[in-house]
Amino acid sequence: MKQLVKHRMMKTAALVILGAAMAGGSAVAADKWDGGDDLPTSPLACDAGPATAAAAKPYDGGQPTGAPDKAGKPITLVDVPKLIGIGYFNATSKGMQDAAKEIGNVKVTTDGPTEAKIDEQIKFIDNYITRGVDGILFAANDPVAITPVLKKALSKGIDVVGYDANSQPDARQWFINQAQFNGIAKAMVDAMAKEVGEDKGFAIVTSTFTTPNQARWIAEMSAYAAKCHPKLKWLETVEAQEDNVLSFNQATTLINKYGDKLSGLFGMTSVATPASAEAVTKAGLCGKLAVVGLATPNAMKPYVNAGCVKSVVLWNPVDLGYAATYVMRAVVDGKLKPGATSVDAGKLGKLNVINGSEILLGSPFIFTKDNIKDFDF
């Protein structure tokens, strides 16, 4: 008899625990979106473009020693990306060639490792220093490991400008920053509000709550939405790591859980976005459930071409290479000096200097049905 009572008590306890877990889970207040970090946010203005009037930071880049004055003279540049032969860096390389053709007195060659390996990349740069070039453009495989060889280039009077992936600031003169967290956040939230309407519910599929870039983007999105789209209703953030099938399963679960209450999904990684689009496709909700996310064009082409996804947010790598070449020419010509606040970059117009020695490419690029076919990465 005693045993029976004990058994019953344990059963009750188990139910209470389960109930408490359920209640506790649902009672979490949602003043900030899950998956964002706790760092301060700086949401952009609701209507303005990419203008960033952040507190000016003094120039912290490096300077070449004894660089000969080549203002207005023809220069030869080498571009050493993380690796060659992939669509992304083919696109940056194309941008550089476009700019070189426009400017006229610039010659750029792209050369680099076939795998994204830092030791290989250092060898390539070292070889070009020995061979002699006027300037080096790079996208670093490792911000720290690449620093010595870039400093060596500076010490030989070679101009150094980075793009896509930075080195330590004093190892190069300038770095072209493709996108800031608050810029991406604004582009994402604006696209979502435009697609689903101002008062609809959405959910987020991210890698993990602690992945630095994703956490930063989500925090900035949360702040920007509170400021500019206050009626948009955040429902939930789920984790899917960088796992294709898990992302698909999580997105599917969200769709099944919320039904009509869910009008949009944000994909925070280049894995989560196509997987979310696939989940929406399989659920037969194309056109009814929007997917907005960060992704590369090739993975998104099937969904964009099918009309299931309207906005893929990223930056334009062709513009990135184009800007890097214009910046290098401006440095050589003495038009871009430490302390400058902007630089002229051909068809891209004036680009702003941020964070001391970085140049912001501009607003993120939105791939749509009309332009996605022009990209192959």
Measuring CA to CA, which residue among 317, 329, 359 is closest to residue 107?
A: 329
User: Segment contacting another protein (CB under 8 A): 65-73, 194-202, 244-252, 349-357?
Assistant: 244-252
Per DSSP, the three-state class of 337 is coil
Q: Rounded CA gap, 82 and 114, in Å?
A: 8
Calculate the CA 156 to chain-centre distance: 33
Contact 52/356 with Cβ under 8 angstroms?
no
In this complex, which beta carbon is closest to another protein, that of residue 28 or of residue 53? 28
**Using the rule CB under 8 A, which residue among 46, 198, 245, 369 binds another protein?**
245
**Using the rule CB under 8 A, which residue among 11, 73, 107, 257 binds another protein?**
257
User: Segment contacting another protein (CB under 8 A): 58-66, 123-131, 181-189, 252-260?
Assistant: 252-260
Q: Rounded CA gap, 358 and 21, in Å?
A: 48
By CB under 8 A, residue 118 contacts another protein: no
Provide, rounded to whole angstroms, the least separation between the CB of residue 62 and another protein. 31
By CB under 8 A, residue 294 contacts another protein: no
By CB under 8 A, residue 84 contacts another protein: no
- Contacts with another protein by CB under 8 A: the residue count is 43
In this complex, which beta carbon is closest to another protein, that of residue 9 or of residue 56? 9
Q: Rounded CA gap, 198 and 131, in Å?
A: 58
Tokens linked to 122: 């250092």
Measuring CA to CA, which residue among 140, 272, 145, 138 is closest to residue 204?
A: 272
By CB under 8 A, residue 12 contacts another protein: no
Burial (Cβ within 10 Å: 0-12, 13-18, ≥19) of residue 17: exposed
- Residues found near another protein in the complex (CB under 8 A): 1, 3, 18, 21-22, 25-26, 28, 83, 85-86, 114-116, 209, 236, 238-239, 241-245, 248-250, 252-254, 256-259, 271, 274-275, 278, 283, 298-299, 301-303
